[in-house]
A and B are shown apart, each in its own frame.
Chain A
Amino acid sequence: MPSRREFIQAGLAASVVPVAFPVAEPARVASVPNIAALSSHRLTHVVCDARFRCSQAVAIEAARLGLPVVSIDGDISDFWFNDLAPVWSTSPRAIAGLTAHGPLFCLERFGWDHGLRVVFRGVHRFEDGGHVEHSLAGPFRTIAAAHGTLVSDDWPTQLTRLLNSCAVTHDTASTTVRGVIESELERDSDDTLFSWVIAPKHAEPATARRA
């Protein structure tokens, strides 16, 4: 079936070097399982909502990290039908993204049907004056790492690394970080954007579990 998807990775793959990404407290974070380190939880797709420049920045960094990037325009139909459903029907794997609410709403519910959950959720509200408020909830160490990384104006890049290193643990936390936004990204959207990681709810590789 024809698709509207644009894979950003294609044009960038030549320069991609997989990076073991350091977060705020590298020694501590390195000691816990994370998606980048666990092959069963490796991100199979990073979803870019191409309507938003912040999300495009995430796609560029994800591609630089060697992650498969899929571009949508808010509509997940082709991505779901052609890519994700065939994978999740046999082996549900972790995905991440920075999107508007609609794509997350749909993907989260599709994930539920396959034994996956949103294990990290960030709400990014754009404020006047070049600020952005990041409200984050997820694994404790991932949240802790966010404090040192999302305050700068290259937060979409830092966020991508955070998503890729998201540690899947039972202890969770939430926080709010107020940061700045690059001038060209300001007024990117009058909407709130959402970052997320959807991953198997159990540490072991998931089967086609449905609840």
Chain B
Amino acid sequence: MAVPPGVGTRDWETALRQFRRAAGESWVFTSDDDIALYRDAYSPLWGEPEERLVSAAIAPDTTEQVSAVVRTANQFRIPVFPISTGKNLGYGGSAPNLSGSVVIDLKRMNRVVEVDDKRHFAIVEPGVAYFDLYRHIQERGLNVWIDCPDPGWGSPVGNSLDHGVGYTFGAYRDHFHSHCGLEAVLPNGDIVRTGMGALPGAKTWAEYRYGFGPTVDGLFAQGNLGIVTKMGFHLLPAPQAYQTSVVTVPRRRDIVPLVDLVNELEHQALVGMPEYFSPLGGFGRPGPPPQELVALMQRPGGPTDEEFDQYARERNAGSWSCRLQFYGSPKVIAAHLEHAKDRFAAVVAGSAFQDGELLRFPLNAEQLDRVHKVAVGIPNMSIFSIGARTELNPSPSDGHLWFSPIIPKSGEAVLEAQRVFMDAFAKLGMPSMVSPFTMPATWMHRAFIFIMAFPISRSNVAQNQRTRTVFRELVKVAAEHGWGEYRTAPVFQDDVMAAYSFNNHSLLRLHEAIKDAVDPNGIVAAGRSGIWPRHLRRTRA
């Protein structure tokens, strides 16, 4: 049986007895078989001595049980690492920053506390998955949507606390932004509620997020000051209809007005999440790129904008496209779509729209098959049915690692990011994961994520080591250009936090000061986001 770091065997045995009293005999897990379930399935350290492993897991059922478990952990200075559903794949899964931590697995806390479809909010526990909340809403015929990420097995609480994102409207698809009030167990076992929740008998916990006084909710997101046991969320009133339309612009430099105009539409709440792509494709897509494109790319100095435009004209294709999503009543959608066409006609010569079908809810089976389900608030797992083997990803089933730098929401920034990262890959001697047609992810409401997925191998340690080296270099390259990652796996969290270095790392120093005050024994999620407790700071950070 593994023992947490810094904990004596007798203390550990006493703590385990107390954990079992708190959570129940059958809800404390110490066998190798059980604790192996908490390995990060996509760990870039898979099988290496540095892989982050756990010593035990506890699954409490109530906030009071969490409090009792934390009090024991604090008494014996046992490091704990809370997870909700533990599905944070690509960003660390359920594995802790500090090996030997005890996972506090909150899956049993799976109660939907309240959903209101007149005032449009929900309050849920951390073990509630998107599927669960969706089922609760569907079974009761409630008139609200959820906004969910691609795999529906995650938790609204866990995803929002990791700054996770979805697919519908801006305010809703930034999941932490859409939260409203939370309950957390502090490292000393005290239970705190934020916002209006701090008012006993509050009637607006999940509606007015600030309450009174300083707002502290953000300290619990990507943080390590406590264990969140309830959260409120704003929900989207169910729209009557949905329609997509793809706008295509002809020239490479048209990416600038394309993004500007889509920003205007989105920030006016006329469209939901936009999805950019290049009709020219080629690199970064399954199968080899066209030979003409390869020849063009291999010319000294690379192709000019005019040559790209000529290439597009010869194929009767545009240079860039964006799929716009419209929600609301059919009349509202028609008006918003007409306005979008007017704006593009006035600004981008040669722009063209291809309208999708107007879909009225509820959708029939055939429509459901065609639609991108998360765009209409339906959780699913279809992302796992995609696993194509490519030259860059020979073992797709072994997983991947997300590199997620935030860049400005502009066409100029996209072109710069393409150039910078293509150069970086060339200097690192690695096939580029970026092409002149790579477009960013648009999950963020006010910024782009220039996201890349690095393949992980469970059998090739050298490949993983190489990936880690490249990843760390890209963190530095991004920082040199003013771009920082919004989220990353534990193994890189020190690197990413180090890039946020304004004024001699004053932000990290503030985090550490708060950590020392609230969690003097450093028991909760040591090292999360690069914030280490005092006793580990010198050796780990």
Which A residues have a C-beta under 8 Å from some C-beta of B? 1-4, 73-77, 80-81, 85, 100-103, 105-106, 109-110, 112-113, 117, 190-192, 201, 209-211
Contacts and interface: CB of A to CB of B under 8 A. Distances in A.
Interface of B: 26-27, 29, 33-34, 37, 41, 57, 59, 85, 87, 105, 107-108, 131, 135, 138, 152-153, 364-365, 368-369, 373, 379-382, 384-387, 389, 396-397
Contacts of B379: 77, 81
Nearest to B132: A85
Contacts of A1: 138, 368
A77 B382 contact: yes
A2 B365 contact: yes
B131 A81 contact: yes
B385 A103 contact: yes
Tell me which of B105, B381, B389 has the highest count of chain A C-beta atoms within 10 A of its own C-beta: B381
7 contacts: A77-B373, A77-B379, A80-B381, A102-B384, A102-B385, A190-B389, A191-B387
Contacts of B85: 113
A73 B59 contact: no
Contact of B385 (A74, A112, A192): A74
Mostly helix, strand, loop or mixed at chain A's interface? loop
Nearest to B105: A211
Contacts of B373: 77
B208 to A, nearest CB: 33
Nearest to B397: A101
B107 A80 contact: no
A103 to B, nearest CB: 7
Contacts of A73: 385
A77 B107 contact: no
Q: Which of B41, B57, B397 has the most chain A CB atoms inside 10 A of its CB?
A: B397
A77 B148 CA distance: 14
A102 B387 contact: yes
Given A74-B386, A112-B37, A117-B33, 15 more contacts: A2-B364, A4-B365, A74-B382, A76-B384, A81-B131, A81-B135, A85-B135, A103-B385, A106-B381, A109-B87, A209-B26, A210-B108, A211-B27, A211-B29, A211-B34
A165 B395 CA distance: 31
5 smallest CB-CB distances across A and B, nearest first, come from: A74-B385, A2-B365, A77-B380, A102-B384, A101-B397
Contacts of B29: 211
A211 B28 CA distance: 9
Contacts of A109: 41, 87, 153
Contacts of B135: 81, 85
B382 A75 contact: yes
B385 A110 contact: no
